[in-house]
Amino acid sequence: MSRQFVTVAEEVHFLFPESAGARARVAGKPAHEFFKRYGAQVPAEDWNEPGTKQGVYMIGPDAEYLEGAHAVSGNAAGLRKRLETALARWKKLRKEKGYANDPVPSVTSGPPPWVEAKPVVFRVFLRDLPRKKGDRSGRRFKKSDRGGPWMSFTKWAWNVNWIGFDDAAPFVTKRKAPKPIDDATVRRICRRVLVDNVRGQTGRWKPEDVKEAVLTKRRVEQKDGRWTIEYSGHAVMESAKQSYRPTLYGRAVWDSRKKRFDRFELVAIGDRKGAGTFNQRARDPGPAPMGIALVGWARPDAQ
């Protein structure tokens, strides 16, 4: 089936950062240059210069301007009109430049490139957990926002992140007695992904914010070269504005012959408190329960 548009979501900071210093780091990179060429064609009132470029943009294969504007997605009727205009311009552009309008190839979603290159990759799921009966303050979607049926998991706020490691060794053990995972590995998990990114964005914890970080491992079963490893521990992260105090528990299956995880699951559950600048907690500072799960990511080419 032929399609006119490909929908892509990207962190705008990586395409067109606001500060001059950050923009210098992306100068010359194909994605930035592509978006910059497009931006040069956008009407000034729609481009928000200077400032963030968050918005909805309709772009041709060679960075041609079709439509789009900063922060336009809040107006459904206006967005529909822009999409209709973009489609009309695309039909004209396709004929002028001989674009094939071929079907869009299927691409399997996965981690960002700088994580995907790591030998061990975990997908990180974050969500608010149910509170006391009748308390819906942790809900991300109000009934009036739905506009149709939703899967049950959207009853509570949630988000997704990634983390990669250069070596699986810190998470593997032959010992039946609990053995501490090295402090650097545990603190890296705490600082980078045990953060309140459920509703918005929160920067990593500073080193001094990690007050406690304990995670042990032990082998609980062995069968056909596969070791079942159990993890347990706890952490305390606290800054002047936020805190998170989770208990950690997990299980993994390590294939000792192929040197890879067949399964990996590590869950952190505890109360978070406070609010950051961009994590949308100003009206919901807690304390309230939050869960974070690290799940092993299987590479598409894995046998």
d(CA 184, CA 210): 11
3 state SS for 94-131: HHHHCCCCCCCCCCCCCCCHHHHCCCEEEEEEEEECCC
Nearest CA-CA partner of 204 in 242, 235, 168, 156: 242
Query: 217 is written with which tokens?
Result: 């491992």
**Domain co-membership, 148 together with 36:** no
* pLDDT score at 173: 96
pLDDT digits (tens, 9 = 90+) for 265-278: 999 999 999 998 88
Overall number of domains in the chain: 2
**Domain co-membership, 178 together with 252:** yes
Residue 140 belongs to a domain: yes
d(CA 102, CA 285): 49
**Domain co-membership, 143 together with 286:** yes
Domain boundary among 62, 97, 132: 97
Query: 241 is written with which tokens?
Result: 């504005």
What's the predicted TM-score (pTM) here?
A: 0.74
pLDDT digits (tens, 9 = 90+) for 156-182: 577 889 999 999 999 999 999 999 999
d(CA 216, CA 107): 37
* pLDDT score at 3: 47
**Domain co-membership, 21 together with 125:** no
**Domain co-membership, 207 together with 271:** yes
**Domain co-membership, 88 together with 179:** no
For 4, 96, 173, 301, the CA distances from 88, given in Å and listed in that order, are 10, 13, 60, 40
**Domain co-membership, 238 together with 269:** yes
Residue 1 belongs to a domain: no
**Domain co-membership, 92 together with 135:** no
* pLDDT score at 105: 66
d(CA 231, CA 241): 29
d(CA 172, CA 251): 11
Query: 240 is written with which tokens?
Result: 């002047």
Domain boundary among 48, 66, 97: 97
Residue 104 belongs to a domain: no
d(CA 144, CA 140): 12
Range of the structural domain that residue 90 is part of: 12-97
**Domain co-membership, 142 together with 261:** yes
Residue 276 belongs to a domain: yes
**Domain co-membership, 150 together with 46:** no
* pLDDT score at 20: 79
d(CA 66, CA 88): 9
Low-confidence ranges of the chain (pLDDT < 70): 1-5, 74, 101-105, 107-108, 135-156, 300-303
**Domain co-membership, 148 together with 43:** no
d(CA 250, CA 269): 11
Sort strands 226-238 and 210-223 into parallel, antiparallel or unpaired: antiparallel
d(CA 172, CA 226): 11
For 65, 127, 160, 278, the CA distances from 201, given in Å and listed in that order, are 30, 13, 11, 5
**Domain co-membership, 131 together with 91:** no
Domain boundary among 97, 129, 146: 97
Question: Checking phi first, is residue 298 left (phi over 0); if not, alpha (psi -120 to 50) or beta?
Answer: beta
* pLDDT score at 101: 64
Residue 239 belongs to a domain: yes
Residue 102 belongs to a domain: no
Residue 123 belongs to a domain: yes
Question: Checking phi first, is residue 286 left (phi over 0); if not, alpha (psi -120 to 50) or beta?
Answer: left
pLDDT digits (tens, 9 = 90+) for 34-73: 999 999 999 999 999 888 888 899 999 999 999 999 987 7
